[in-house]
Amino acid sequence: MVTSLRIWRVVVCSCLIASFAGLPLPAAQPNIAQQAPSTVETAAKLMQAGHLDRAKLLLGIELIQDPGNNQVLFLLGMIAVQQKKYDEAIKDFRRILDREPKAERVRLELARAFFLKKDYENSQRQFRFARAGRVPGAVKENIDHYLGAIKRLRRWQYSASLALAPDTNVNGGTSVRQVTIYGLPFELSSDARGTSGVGVRLSLGGEWSPLITNRSKMRLGGNVNRAEYGGGQFDDMTVSAYAGPQLLLPRWDISVLSTWFQRWYGNTTYAEGVGGRIEAEHNLSRKLDLLMGFSGQSVTYTYVPDQNGPVLGLDSTLAYEITPSTIVQLQGGVSRQEARLAPYANWSYWLSASYYQDLPHGFSIYATPGFVWSDYDEPLAAFGVKRNDTAVLLRAGILNRRISYYGFTPQLSYVHINQLSNIPLYRYERDQVEIGFTRIF
């Protein structure tokens, strides 16, 4: 058995050297069940001799007898790559990762299959996960070469999600029935208080980034987010766009972008802003990446023009790939909103942490708790106090990568918001469940 396993490894390594164009890979295989020596040895010899169809037939028969054999799936995936049948290879490698999410060798092959298919977004994700594993220095260098090539070659990026969204507070309204304004009690209407409902949430995003020179690109992108409820009075939609150059350096990406957004609430214009943003992404280490951004926009409000003014923001994200199946992120930022009237001007601070984990059987889980603090400059005349808010947020979800239709996978997520305020009118709680499909994973 030991001799047969050595023969198998030699043959696979030979195939890898030829197909990887010189990319060395670790000799260690994923923790997979041993195949019968005669079948593996025969298939390996056929692959070495270039008889890929015969090897594939033999392995296919074995897979029928033992559908859970990861070793056979791995060889079938390698054959599919050599035959340029990248969708088949991706399917085979993903079946292994469904059972063994930490198998970095399989992630490397999956990343390479996506790269050869020119699906650079998924390729980048898998290479980054694989880089977090225990791979030799030479392999890490080659992964970095692939990641650099992806930055230059990737022209299109897009994301999409659609979900049914039951919501306990679609308008973010308070639960109190009476507030004191200018010292007098007022009964709030039902529209001003929290209202439950069931809506549909749609999110679309895309970017085109053609290469200008070997070290620079142009970025053109946009996003659409819409929540729609019956009656239309609480419908909420934001459309945003950006454009500008991107500089590609060995360990830095720097973008200078012009930005624009418009928001509609109740299907009427609510706010509009135009400005710019500077983004910088830096690879700190094999597992650690830093993203920083500084933005500024002039924002105008349709119904409260006294709130008009510039909004400046500074944000950063630290992403750490713990293992080939786990990533954590720490995010934080500060923003300053100026306004015509000082009671609307404020400082806001936010902090959040994210955890993502690929599990066996194709499941993935994620959780993002966060906090937002807002401190206003001067008291609101109607309430006689300076407004201070503290919001606690939690988003968690689960999806299954094994179930996929044209790249979309089902997702179940839960969102909780609890905003505390020293002014009762601005206090509210909100719980939302989203049941739908996503292509962001």
pLDDT in tens, 339-358: 999 999 999 999 999 999 99
Per-residue pLDDT at 12? 40
pTM beyond 0.85, yes or no? no
Largest CA distance in the chain: 90
Which band of pLDDT confidence, cut at 50, 70 and 90, is reported for residue 40? low
d(CA 360, CA 364): 8
pLDDT at 378 over 90: yes
Q: What is the DSSP letter of 127?
A: H
Per-residue pLDDT at 357? 93
d(CA 294, CA 334): 10
Which band of pLDDT confidence, cut at 50, 70 and 90, is reported for residue 31? very low
Question: Which residue has better confidence, 231 or 368?
Answer: 368
Per-residue pLDDT at 150? 92
Per-residue pLDDT at 139? 87
**Residue 88: which H helix or E strand, with range?**
helix 86-99
- Sign of the torsion angle spanned by Cα atoms 171, 174, 179, 182: negative
pLDDT at 18 over 70: no
Mean pLDDT of the chain: 86
Kindly provide the residue ranges of all beta strands, DSSP E only, lying in 249-308, ordered along the sequence: 252-265, 268-283, 288-301
The neighbour count for residue 121, using CB atoms within 10 Å, is 15
Per-residue pLDDT at 191? 67
d(CA 40, CA 11): 11
d(CA 139, CA 147): 12
Burial class (CB in 10 A: 0-12, 13-18, 19+), 73: buried
CATH numbers and ranges of domains, the chain: 2-153 (1.25.40.10), 156-438 (2.40.160.40)
Which band of pLDDT confidence, cut at 50, 70 and 90, is reported for residue 440? low
For residue 218, CA distances in Å to 155, 208, 261 come to 10, 8, 20
DSSP-derived 3-state class of residue 66: coil
Q: In 3D, which of 193, 205, 196, 204 has the Cα closest to residue 165?
A: 196
pLDDT at 224 over 70: yes
Which range of 126-140, 169-183, 225-239 scores highest in mean pLDDT? It is 225-239
Where residue 101 falls (left for φ over 0; alpha for ψ -120 to 50; beta otherwise) is: alpha
Per-residue pLDDT at 22? 40
Which band of pLDDT confidence, cut at 50, 70 and 90, is reported for residue 11? very low
Q: In 3D, which of 256, 258, 313 has the Cα closest to residue 280?
A: 256
pLDDT at 160 over 50: yes
Contacts made by residues 349-357, CB under 8 angstroms, sequence distance 24+: 349/373, 352/393, 353/328, 353/329, 354/328, 354/329, 354/330, 355/326, 355/327, 355/328, 356/326, 356/327, 356/328, 357/325, 357/326
pLDDT at 227 over 90: yes
Contact 441, 364 (CB under 8 A): yes
Which band of pLDDT confidence, cut at 50, 70 and 90, is reported for residue 32? very low
The neighbour count for residue 277, using CB atoms within 10 Å, is 18
